[in-house]
Amino acid sequence: MALVINEGASSSSFTHQPEKFDVFLSFRGEDTRYGFISHLYEALRKRGIHTFIDDKLPRGAKISTQLFKTIEKSTMSIIIFSENYATSTWCLDELAKIVECKKNSELMIPVFYKVNPSEIRKQNGKFGDALAEHEKNMDNKKVQRWRNALQEVANISGRHYNNSCNEFDFIQRIVEDISKLKLNRPSLFVAQYPSLFVAQYLVGIDNRIKTILSDIESNDAHMIVIYGLGGIGKTTITKEIFNRICSRFEGFCYLENVREKSGTNDGVIKLQEELLFVILGDKNLKVGNKSRGINMIKERLSVMRILLVLDDVDKRVQIENLLGGCDWFASRSKIIITTRDKHLEATLGKCFSTHEVKELNQGEALELFSRHAFQSKEPKEDYSELANQVIQYAQGLPLALVVMGANLSGRTKLEWKSAIDKYERIPNKEIQNVLKISYDGLDENEQDIFLDVACFFKGFLMKYVMDILDSCDLYPSYGIVKLIDKCLITVDQYGKLSMHNLLQQMGKDIVRQESPKLGERSRLWCYEDVLDVLTKNTGSEKVRGIMICAPEPSKIQLESKCLEKMENLKFLMASNVDTCGDLKYLPNGLRVLDWPGFPSSSLPSNFHPPILVVLNMPESHLILPKLLERTQCKSLTYMNLQSSQCIRELPDLSISTPNIKQLNFCKCINLVKVHDSVGCLEKLESLDLTGCIGLKILPSCITMKSLKILILYKCKRVKRFPNISQEMENLKFLSLACTAIRELPSSFRNLSGLERLDIGSYSSTCHLPSSIYELPHLHKLFIYGSVQFPKDVQIGIQALCNSYGGFSKYGFLKLNFLKKLTSCFHLSKNWLLSRRKTSNLKDNIMRFNGLRYLLIEDSKFLKEIPELPESIRSVHASNCISLNSQSIRNLFDQFGRILDFPPNMICSREKGNILANSHSHQIDYSSKHSFSKFILIEKELRPTPEMYLFDFGVRYSITVPERNIPEWFNHQSIESSILFRIGPKFPTFAFCIAFHLVPLKDSYANKCGSLRDDRISWFCAVDISINGQAQSFMQHPLFHFQYLKCDHLWFYAVPHSQLQQKFGDLLQGDQNRVEISCKISHWTSEFGKFAPVIAGMGAHVKCICPPQNSIIIHNNSQNVDDNSENIEFAPLLHPATTSDGSHMNHGLTGISSEIDSLSECGWKFKRGFTFDETWQMISAYVDWDAYTKFQSAKDIQETILSSKYSIRDQYSKMDETSKNMHLSQERNQCGVVYDMHRNTVVKEMDLDQMSATSNLEVMTRTSFMVTQVER
């Protein structure tokens, strides 16, 4: 009988079992099933012979019609005659059907397994006995049919096995027979495939292949697409995966350079033959043509569980030429495709998954580069700065890191500097040739888009760039998407275009190669090059765009018609440039005229640009009516004349600029009137009149159906808001704050799409209409100063409660209106309380039973935050200096209950410790005025997508004026990091950061203020490291902390399910090492002379930290690498003081940093630095006037530093065992010395001198750390 094992079955739509089989096996199960038959079946499968062997068909007295159909569709049959074959009526029915179907005896192969063929032909012995027994119970005609079939098959020459030969060899001969019988099926074997060479050094690869391997584990046939930028490591990843898993498959093949080899018909055929040979092993197999090759591949590989890698594919046809359709693979087969084109995935059907390969992070990039440049994991110390320059240049691209590392290996520092300068000017050809492959695959329009973005528009909003390029007939709606799919450009979360620096450099180099003459290149962006072309008037019609950005404001002498030869100029962008005379010519084909501070009051009289899209001339002297009276700019979409003091009226724009989308007249202080026609511009989306302090007259009526943003903030003379004559459902944001508007029109209800309203003034009261309750989408109401709600709030209750719950979705309200509104705002989720003389929330807050966010700022009289509704997620109470400590503790406890944190949980590493270490849950900040590690401003940063909070979904946060981290945080540190261990899954955990405010020296504050707009803004970045793999956890903008007047705590918690989803892939086994670290950086703000510093951290987590029984000095040992060669030094600042000279209520001093001119990179406390040298280093930045006890601290510090060197000399002579013993003893001794010195000095000081103790303690601890590090 047949044994049915349907290996090809799959639940996936991607795979279906072929209906036709090469071989049908007929055998007696009890004789051969678990030995001979199973070996034969596997041997046939491995040769690509599709064999039917199924044990899942229902058994009964009669053979099923399903089995008969399988026999009919099988090409040939193997009948294994064994001792008891004839006793089975099932087997005899199979045999009769086989004989009936096979006219040609060559399609039946008998195998005589331990039986004599003559016994079957003569039908005697056991075969005769079995047939005789059947005749007693069965119809004689049926038995005779069986006899005839037995005799016919027994007369065919077959294979005879009688224990006289090796069974394995016997099976191989049967397989050879089958192979020869089937057309064009020569002898087959599974090739021995050598391991692929992946790379000399593999860095960061495990995490990248982990998610891919999870797809490999699935039971269905599956296609996996791995895409990314050229040189990003796709091939390296797939080779590593191939080497790891190929042994699990019956056949496997890795085809490289598919794109390149598929360029010709012969190339496709060679790929087909290579695929068949590698898996099946036939060197002489020839497919003839593509179509026949596709059929042979499907026919021979569909029965095998295969692993196939197609490396570097860029078109679907390349896959089809090899595989045909993608629906024939056997169960558990895997096809991996690497490509630079993300869009390829959309052409492959349903059963596939995609994985993008990202750039290496900073640590991985440095390690990979160091492996090739220094043959070590880290760069040499004196090469660190140069190595970091290369890392910044390569931006995590493995190809660039490998190439540059190899090129720089063994070179001197001078050669390094020269090479890096060259790289930044002239890209490396080896790198560029790889990157340029994607560019070469674009059509002409797409190449133009790529070069325009590379040279001019990187960092601009995609929508803005598309409007510009659309006017150039480049079809950007398709072209930009194509570039994104090709991984040549990306779009960040804010909709801005970006690209890898090396791709941008490649694009610029392509333009440079256009001509050795500057004036004959299509695009000019280098200041010196543009200046050369303009001053010498050497431009030509080939110039498409010019960007001239002077490094500092400067005047240049230009010919009045220096642009006259550039008749095809489309983009003119200038910055910091003033001309000595007026320009007499501008090309009429301009699409972008971007020139802040344009020196002339008018544009050339012959300038009539019909296709101008962007007019960006802030701080210019243009007189707008004069410009628009003679210039019809029908295509003008963006107009920005911000801070232009010559503009007094916004004229009729309906005729001259009917397609305008954005108008920005912010800070045009002499603007008095906006023409009525502006209120009817149908395509206008944004109108910004911020700070137009002279503005009095607005359009009497507005009907702008496309308007999304209208800002009148600080238009102090505007008294009347226009009537809204028809519904404006697209207006989302309206700012009327700090205007003279006292009343809104009843037609305000027509702003049906309004989501945010800023309103109110500190000089007068604005009366809101009852129609405000009818706005269904308004969920943010920011109130400035005094606002009067309608007296009869019942007017709005029906609309509020029945339509959307009114402001129940999000309502930001001031406290003094709360009592009269609780009846209708009973479901409010957001609430803003701002600068109110409020001491009690208790009577009102619980009425908001859906409250999620509570924001309170500068409420000096608020003493208590009561129990909040269970819906609460975030409480921000900054500068509420009267808030009592018990209320804050209660608030933290409530969040602990909401998060279901177990009380009194103690880290296991604490048990048995005599001194509280860096994770102590009992650190008392009120008595310990010491901070050995703080983070100060690192450098000026520009905001990037990574700088903002990761959207965990549900999250919990608290910001309150407090210095003490609650005791229930079972891990605490006076450093800027926390270390603990967790099990195989993430628990819910929370962390808390203590911030302190410290003053900056005037010189540094001035320097920071000069960075941009005299403002310094601060960010707290939190990173998580899991088993050594660093990830950005979140970066919280401290925009609420701009005017802090005291210490603050910031609490943040995320449920375990969201942590598992975000970081679960990094967990390994039952024990996982987790480190949370934070740092403060900045880019702009309003802090003036004060800065926040991190004074400590706490974490509450269910950990599995191992017990620690030794006495450990505070916070040092576990954060110091004994092999490190340097340690950060922690300079201190004097206590923060207010403008009147009084001390601020933070009580603590201390700040530390990786400081290099306080804006570039880190100061390191190098080995061998004396105290005086270190002191001199930091004195340039730190004001020490407040430290009256400095000399005592210095004396103690020098004593410990001097003993350090003798200890080090003794230590170097010890063996390893003695070193470890001595190290433990030294730690204990240092702890005693540390406490002794601290207590001595503290006794000599009064409370006003406590800041000196902080200085002393940090220096003492620093000495101890340096001693340990240098060992």
Q: For residue 124, what is the domain's CATH number?
A: 3.40.50.10140
Q: Is pLDDT at 522 greater than 60 in this prediction?
A: yes
How far apart are the C-alpha atoms of 758 and 751, rounded to whole Å? Answer: 14
Q: Which of 1002, 1169, 1167, 1174 is nearest to 1090 (CA)?
A: 1002
Structure tokens at 1268: 């340990």
**Res. 543 pLDDT band, cuts 50 70 90:** very high
Q: What integer pLDDT is reported at residue 1090 of this predicted model?
A: 63
Asked if residue 388 and residue 505 are part of one domain, the reply reads no
- Strand pairing of 1090-1100 and 971-973? antiparallel
DSSP 1066-1100: G--TT-EEEEEEEEEEES--S-TTEEEEEEEEEEE
Q: What integer pLDDT is reported at residue 569 of this predicted model?
A: 95
Q: Does 70 reside within a domain?
A: yes
Asked if residue 1058 and residue 948 are part of one domain, the reply reads yes
For the chain, helix, strand, coil in percent to 5 are 35, 20, 45
**Which residue matches tokens 């999000």?**
810
Task: Give percent of the chain above pLDDT 70.
Answer: 69
**Res. 1091 pLDDT band, cuts 50 70 90:** low
Which residue did the predictor score with more confidence, 968 or 611? 611
Last residue of a domain, one of 619, 641, 663: 641
Q: Which of 152-161, 278-287, 450-459, 478-487 has the lowest mean pLDDT?
A: 278-287
How far apart are the C-alpha atoms of 923 and 908, rounded to whole Å? Answer: 16
Q: Which of 689, 690, 667 is nearest to 678 (CA)?
A: 689
How many C-beta neighbours within 10 Å does residue 1182 have?
A: 20
Q: Does 658 reside within a domain?
A: no
Asked if residue 228 and residue 150 are part of one domain, the reply reads no
How far apart are the C-alpha atoms of 279 and 272, rounded to whole Å? Answer: 11
Let me know: does 578 contact 603? Beta carbons within 8 Å.
no
What counts of helices (H) and strands (E) characterise the chain?
35, 44
How far apart are the C-alpha atoms of 425 and 422, rounded to whole Å? Answer: 5
Residue 517: exposed, middle, or buried by beta-carbon count in 10 A (0-12, 13-18, 19+)? Answer: exposed
Q: Is pLDDT at 60 greater than 50 in this prediction?
A: no
> What φ, ψ does residue 602 adopt, rounded to 5°?
-150, 160
How far apart are the C-alpha atoms of 833 and 1023, rounded to whole Å? Answer: 32
Q: What integer pLDDT is reported at residue 810 of this predicted model?
A: 33
**Res. 463 pLDDT band, cuts 50 70 90:** very high
Q: Does 193 reside within a domain?
A: no
6-10, 117-121, 558-562: which is most confident: 117-121
Let me know: does 583 contact 558? Beta carbons within 8 Å.
yes
Average pLDDT of span 1150-1158: 31
Q: Which of 1269, 948, 1013, 1016 is nearest to 1158 (CA)?
A: 1016
**Res. 920 pLDDT band, cuts 50 70 90:** very low
The dihedral built from the CA positions of residue 87, 90, 91 and 96, taken in this order, carries a sign that is positive
Structure tokens at 1178: 């930091």
Q: Is pLDDT at 1194 greater than 80 in this prediction?
A: no
DSSP 843-908: HHHTT-TT--EEEEES-TT--B--PPPTT--EEEEET-TT--HHHHHHHHHHHHHHTTPPTT---G
Asked if residue 338 and residue 282 are part of one domain, the reply reads yes
pLDDT digits (tens, 9 = 90+) for 193-233: 445 556 667 787 877 887 788 777 777 788 889 999 888 88
* DSSP-H helix ranges across 899-1048: 1002-1009
Q: Does 660 reside within a domain?
A: no
Which residue did the predictor score with more confidence, 1081 or 52? 52
Q: What integer pLDDT is reported at residue 29 of this predicted model?
A: 83
Let me know: does 480 contact 449? Beta carbons within 8 Å.
yes
Let me know: does 757 contact 734? Beta carbons within 8 Å.
yes
Q: Which CATH number belongs to the domain containing residue 243 in this structure? A: 3.40.50.300
Let me know: does 408 contact 419? Beta carbons within 8 Å.
yes
Q: What integer pLDDT is reported at residue 873 of this predicted model?
A: 84
Q: Which of 2-16, 135-149, 285-299, 1229-1243 has the lowest mean pLDDT?
A: 2-16
**Res. 506 pLDDT band, cuts 50 70 90:** very high
Q: Which CATH number belongs to the domain containing residue 500 in this structure? A: 1.10.10
How far from chain centre, in Å, is Cα 136?
79
Last residue of a domain, one of 356, 377, 403: 356
The single residue of 19, 30, 83, 94 carrying the catalytic annotation is 94
Asked if residue 377 and residue 266 are part of one domain, the reply reads no
pLDDT digits (tens, 9 = 90+) for 291-310: 888 888 888 888 888 899 99
Residue 1054 domain boundaries:
924-1001+1011-1101
Q: Does 25 reside within a domain?
A: yes
Q: Is pLDDT at 712 greater than 90 in this prediction?
A: yes
Structure tokens at 322: 């090899």
Asked if residue 967 and residue 1073 are part of one domain, the reply reads yes
How far apart are the C-alpha atoms of 533 and 608, rounded to whole Å? Answer: 24
Q: What integer pLDDT is reported at residue 1214 of this predicted model?
A: 55
Asked if residue 609 and residue 479 are part of one domain, the reply reads no
Residue 956: exposed, middle, or buried by beta-carbon count in 10 A (0-12, 13-18, 19+)? Answer: buried
Q: What integer pLDDT is reported at residue 713 of this predicted model?
A: 93
Q: Does 501 reside within a domain?
A: yes
Three-state DSSP class for residue 701: strand
Q: Does 225 reside within a domain?
A: yes
Q: Burial letters for 1184-1211: b for 16+ Cβ neighbours within 10 Å, e otherwise?
A: bebbebeebbbebbeebbeebeebeeeb
Q: Does 1141 reside within a domain?
A: no
Q: Which of 956, 954, 974, 955 is nearest to 964 (CA)?
A: 974
Which residue did the predictor score with more confidence, 593 or 1267? 593
7-16, 905-914, 1159-1168: which is most confident: 905-914
- Strand pairing of 108-113 and 159-161? parallel
How far apart are the C-alpha atoms of 834 and 889, rounded to whole Å? Answer: 23
Q: Is pLDDT at 759 greater than 70 in this prediction?
A: yes
| DSSP at 33 | I
Q: What integer pLDDT is reported at residue 831 of this predicted model?
A: 42
**Res. 107 pLDDT band, cuts 50 70 90:** confident
Task: Give percent of the chain above pLDDT 90.
Answer: 20
Average pLDDT of span 655-678: 93
* DSSP-H helix ranges across 749-817: 797-799
Which residue did the predictor score with more confidence, 399 or 1139? 399
Asked if residue 476 and residue 402 are part of one domain, the reply reads no
**Res. 54 pLDDT band, cuts 50 70 90:** low
Average pLDDT of span 1070-1077: 85
Q: Is pLDDT at 515 greater than 90 in this prediction?
A: yes
Asked if residue 386 and residue 276 are part of one domain, the reply reads no
What's the mean per-residue pLDDT of the chain?
73
- Strand pairing of 1126-1127 and 1165-1166? antiparallel
Q: Burial letters for 542-580: b for 16+ Cβ neighbours within 10 Å, e otherwise?
A: bbbbbbbebeeeeebebbeebbebbeebbbbbbeebebe
Asked if residue 326 and residue 378 are part of one domain, the reply reads no
What's the farthest any 2 CA atoms get from each other in the chain?
122
Average pLDDT of span 88-105: 82
How far apart are the C-alpha atoms of 1261 and 476, rounded to whole Å? Answer: 61
**Res. 775 pLDDT band, cuts 50 70 90:** confident
How far apart are the C-alpha atoms of 1107 and 913, rounded to whole Å? Answer: 9
How far apart are the C-alpha atoms of 664 and 651, rounded to whole Å? Answer: 14
Q: What integer pLDDT is reported at residue 1221 of this predicted model?
A: 53
How far apart are the C-alpha atoms of 11 and 451, rounded to whole Å? Answer: 47
Q: What integer pLDDT is reported at residue 953 of this predicted model?
A: 53
Contacts of 149 (CB under 8 A, 6+ apart): 92, 95, 96, 98, 99
**Res. 542 pLDDT band, cuts 50 70 90:** very high
**Res. 905 pLDDT band, cuts 50 70 90:** low
Structure tokens at 150: 């037995």
Asked if residue 243 and residue 177 are part of one domain, the reply reads no
Q: Which of 173-187, 627-641, 957-971 has the lowest mean pLDDT?
A: 173-187
Catalytic status, residue 94: yes
Total domain count, the chain: 6
Structure tokens at 1085: 């703000």
Average pLDDT of span 1104-1128: 39
Distances (CA, A) of 710 to 491, 734, 810, 813: 26, 5, 21, 21
DSSP 36-69: IIHHHHHHHHHTT--EE-BS-SPP-SS--HHHHH
Contacts of 559 (CB under 8 A, 6+ apart): 534, 535, 537
Amino acid, res. 663: L
Which residue did the predictor score with more confidence, 474 or 1105? 474
Last residue of a domain, one of 356, 378, 393: 356
Q: Which of 189-193, 269-273, 627-631, 713-717 has the lowest mean pLDDT?
A: 189-193
* DSSP-H helix ranges across 60-139: 65-73, 89-101, 117-122, 125-137
- CA Rg, the chain, in Å? 40
Q: Which of 1051, 1057, 1079 is nearest to 969 (CA)?
A: 1051
Asked if residue 552 and residue 539 are part of one domain, the reply reads yes
Q: What integer pLDDT is reported at residue 820 of this predicted model?
A: 33
Q: What integer pLDDT is reported at residue 455 of this predicted model?
A: 94
Q: Is pLDDT at 69 greater than 70 in this prediction?
A: yes
pLDDT digits (tens, 9 = 90+) for 854-873: 777 667 777 888 888 888 88
